[in-house]
Amino acid sequence: MTTKDLRIIKTLQQIDRALLELLNELPFQKITVQLLCERALINRSTFYKYYTDKYDLLDRYLNKILQEFKQQVNVDFVVTNPSVTDDEHYQIPFRNFTAFVYSKRTEYLILWKASIERQPYNEMTDLVYRQILEKLLTESPELSAKHTYCELYAHLFSSNMMALIRWWLTNEDTVSIEEVQKIMHENMKKGLFYTFRHSVRDSIQ
């Protein structure tokens, strides 16, 4: 990587950081390119070299955040038996996911409450929902006859998972990452997971 590339990366990071800081302070409507430039310590020509306007910046920033989140989500557990969710094959990805979420806690909490048209929290929930539904229908073809039940389960688990994450990050001073991992594990093993797998399997037989 050249020195020029490093400068570009640093500049884009400064702009991202400026956007996030300002979203924590102001409604997006009141954020101007001038404010962004002042906060990022760049001039306007530099900003317009990379972005069309502040809306372009926001959309691209949110898309990047969502893509990173998507890459960390692992829903393999939805097609296994609850009795084997203790297996490291399922636990390691979840521990990695919670660690990643914790590393992004500042960004997520700011974006979830920011005064913007897009709703990042809802988009994340929908992303998890779609991944769960795809996994169920792709790896358990027999469930296609119960598509409606699969949709319900995907909605319930994605909503439950995201609600747990938001609750945890909002209460991180009193709720440990280990406690969150335990709650989700028990949910996978005995809660929604158990109810869904057995009710659907029984109805298919």
Could you report the per-residue pLDDT of 88-140, keeping only the tens digit for each?
A: 666 788 888 999 999 999 999 999 999 999 999 999 999 999 999 998 888 77
Residue written as tokens 């990050």? 169
- Would you call 201 helix, strand, or coil by DSSP? helix
Under 8 Å between Cβ of 10 and 33: no
Per the CB < 8 A criterion, the answer to whether 177 and 102 are in contact is: yes
Helix intervals (H) in 24-103: 33-40, 44-50, 54-72, 88-103
Residues 70 and 132 in one domain: yes
* pLDDT exceeds cutoff 60 at 153: yes
In Å, how far are 23, 34, 39, 108 from 116, measured between CA atoms? 9, 19, 19, 14
Cβ contact 47:15 at 8 Å = yes
- Say whether both 78 and 168 belong to one domain: yes
pTM to 2 decimal places: 0.84
Q: How far, in Å, CA of 68 to CA of 101, rounded?
A: 10
**Are residues 124 and 146 located together in one domain of the fold?**
yes
Q: Residue 198: is its pLDDT beyond 90?
A: no
Any domain includes 56:
no
**Is 109 in the same domain as 190?**
yes
Question: Does residue 1 carry a pLDDT above 70?
Answer: no
Say yes or no: 43 and 80 in one domain: no
Which residues constitute the domain of residue 68?
A: 63-204
- Residue with more model confidence, 203 or 66: 66
151: CB partners within 8 A, 6+ apart: 133
Whether residues 97 and 164 fall in one domain: yes
Are both 118 and 26 inside the same structural domain? no
Sign, CA torsion 193/194/196/198: positive
Residue 24: pLDDT above 80? yes
Query: Do both 117 and 25 map to the same domain?
Result: no
